[in-house]
A = this chain, B = another copy of it.
């Protein structure tokens, strides 16, 4: 099994919004696609244990903001690399609510889908949601950001991040698994998703 083969799968970048019981959160994912028409259905895969899928399971609804090429690294970092249990990721943003009462943003997204969960399947590391799209709105004419373009154009290159900050841990950018400490052995593999060291990014001291 050559794990590099999986890097050739093409994805977009999405801002998933969800809420339940007065709480709400959003996260970044690359795993949304349309899988049926009439009624229109999409699939969304989320890492088990994260806050957003927990809220989706409770509220049975979510929004998909299709992130566009105007998004910068700070935006992706805020929604994709922080923990919504600890802080309010929406702070400073003008949050809107869709027909299902689910939160979404119009910042850096070109379209928003309102989704109602039809079924969910636990796949071990992830839960796969199948959802009906009950509303869809175009927000901007910007091109959608692809996962490949995120790595090529948005994510800071290694030399740009070669700064004074102290590395205190490493995070798998595939599944989100984190390891404490400044060093990560060259032959290290993620114990959760088995991806190699090259898929880990440093966590810096705040």
Does B35 lie within 8 Å of A9, measured CB to CB? no
CA distance A39 to B193 in the complex (A): 8
Establish whether residues A125 and B36, one from each chain, have CB atoms under 8 Å apart when the complex forms: yes
Whether B192 and A6, one on each chain, are in contact in the complex, defined by CB atoms closer than 8 angstroms, is: no
Within 8 A of B (CB), among A5-48: 5-6, 8-12, 31-43, 45
A45 touching B35 in the complex, CB below 8 Å, given contacts A136-B6, A146-B10: yes
Assembled-state Cα–Cα distance A195/B38 (Å): 10
Q: Is the CB of A194 within 8 A of B38?
A: yes
Bound CA span A70–B105, Å: 38
Q: Which residues of the partner chain B approach A9 to less than 8 Å between Cβ atoms?
A: 12, 32-34, 42, 66, 144
Complex partner residue of A2 from B66, B136, B175, CB under 8 angstroms: B136
- 26 residue pairs A–B, Cβ–Cβ below 8 Å: A1-B40, A1-B136, A2-B136, A2-B137, A3-B136, A5-B111, A5-B113, A5-B136, A5-B137, A6-B34, A6-B40, A6-B113, A8-B111, A11-B33, A31-B33, A33-B45, A36-B126, A37-B125, A37-B192, A37-B194, A38-B124, A38-B192, A39-B124, A43-B43, A43-B128, A121-B130
Residues of A within 8 A of B (CB): 1-6, 8-12, 31-43, 45, 66, 68, 110-113, 119, 121, 123-126, 128, 130, 133-138, 144, 146-148, 174-175, 192-195
